[in-house]
Amino acid sequence: MLALCNETQQNPVLMFVTQRDIEALVDNELSSDEKTRVMKGMERNPALKSQYDALLAQKEALKNWWAEMGCVQN
Protein backbone atom coordinates (compact mmCIF):
# COMPACT_ATOMS: atom_id res chain seq x y z
CA MET A 1 0.00 0.00 0.00
CA LEU A 2 1.23 3.47 -0.83
CA ALA A 3 -0.30 6.51 0.83
CA LEU A 4 0.21 10.15 0.06
CA CYS A 5 -0.23 12.76 2.78
CA ASN A 6 0.13 16.54 2.99
CA GLU A 7 2.38 17.70 5.82
CA THR A 8 1.39 21.31 6.56
CA GLN A 9 0.23 24.35 4.65
CA GLN A 10 3.35 26.32 5.63
CA ASN A 11 5.70 23.63 4.45
CA PRO A 12 3.88 21.38 2.00
CA VAL A 13 5.64 18.06 1.75
CA LEU A 14 4.38 14.97 0.03
CA MET A 15 4.91 11.96 2.23
CA PHE A 16 4.86 8.50 0.71
CA VAL A 17 4.35 5.67 3.17
CA THR A 18 4.88 2.17 1.81
CA GLN A 19 4.31 -1.29 3.19
CA ARG A 20 8.06 -1.56 3.71
CA ASP A 21 8.02 1.66 5.77
CA ILE A 22 5.40 0.16 8.06
CA GLU A 23 7.33 -3.10 8.35
CA ALA A 24 10.50 -1.17 9.20
CA LEU A 25 8.61 0.77 11.88
CA VAL A 26 7.36 -2.47 13.44
CA ASP A 27 10.93 -3.81 13.41
CA ASN A 28 12.36 -0.55 14.82
CA GLU A 29 14.56 -0.04 11.76
CA LEU A 30 13.74 3.62 11.00
CA SER A 31 15.66 6.75 11.85
CA SER A 32 13.92 9.29 14.03
CA ASP A 33 12.93 11.41 11.01
CA GLU A 34 11.64 8.40 9.08
CA LYS A 35 9.68 7.21 12.11
CA THR A 36 8.07 10.64 12.45
CA ARG A 37 7.15 10.64 8.75
CA VAL A 38 5.52 7.22 8.93
CA MET A 39 3.71 8.01 12.18
CA LYS A 40 2.28 11.19 10.66
CA GLY A 41 1.19 9.21 7.64
CA MET A 42 -0.64 6.76 9.90
CA GLU A 43 -2.36 9.63 11.73
CA ARG A 44 -3.78 10.81 8.42
CA ASN A 45 -4.64 7.42 6.96
CA PRO A 46 -6.48 4.86 9.12
CA ALA A 47 -5.69 2.08 6.63
CA LEU A 48 -1.97 2.55 7.31
CA LYS A 49 -2.61 2.42 11.06
CA SER A 50 -4.61 -0.78 10.59
CA GLN A 51 -1.72 -2.33 8.67
CA TYR A 52 0.68 -1.31 11.42
CA ASP A 53 -1.56 -2.76 14.13
CA ALA A 54 -1.93 -6.04 12.21
CA LEU A 55 1.83 -6.38 11.69
CA LEU A 56 2.49 -5.58 15.35
CA ALA A 57 -0.04 -8.25 16.43
CA GLN A 58 1.54 -10.74 14.02
CA LYS A 59 5.01 -10.03 15.39
CA GLU A 60 3.78 -10.49 18.96
CA ALA A 61 2.02 -13.77 18.03
CA LEU A 62 5.22 -15.10 16.44
CA LYS A 63 7.25 -14.03 19.47
CA ASN A 64 4.84 -15.90 21.75
CA TRP A 65 4.88 -18.95 19.50
CA TRP A 66 8.67 -19.08 19.54
CA ALA A 67 8.63 -18.74 23.34
CA GLU A 68 6.17 -21.64 23.60
CA MET A 69 8.47 -23.72 21.39
CA GLY A 70 11.30 -23.11 23.84
CA CYS A 71 13.19 -20.73 21.61
CA VAL A 72 14.36 -17.40 22.92
CA GLN A 73 14.52 -14.37 20.66
CA ASN A 74 15.90 -10.97 21.57
pLDDT at residue 12, rounded to an integer: 41
Q: Which long-range contacts (CB under 8 A, 24 or more apart) does 48-53 make?
A: 48/1, 48/3, 48/17, 48/22, 51/1, 51/19, 51/22, 52/22, 52/25, 52/26
pLDDT in tens, 15-71: 689 999 999 999 999 999 999 999 999 999 999 999 999 999 999 999 898 888 887
Total tally of structural domains belonging to the chain: 1
Report yes or no on 64 lying in a domain: yes
Report yes or no on 74 lying in a domain: no
- In this prediction, residue 11 has a pLDDT band, given cuts at 50, 70 and 90, of very low
Report yes or no on 73 lying in a domain: no
pLDDT at residue 74, rounded to an integer: 54
Q: Residue 39 belongs to what domain range?
A: 3-68
Report yes or no on 35 lying in a domain: yes
pLDDT at residue 8, rounded to an integer: 42
**Residue with the larger pLDDT of the pair 64 and 11:** 64
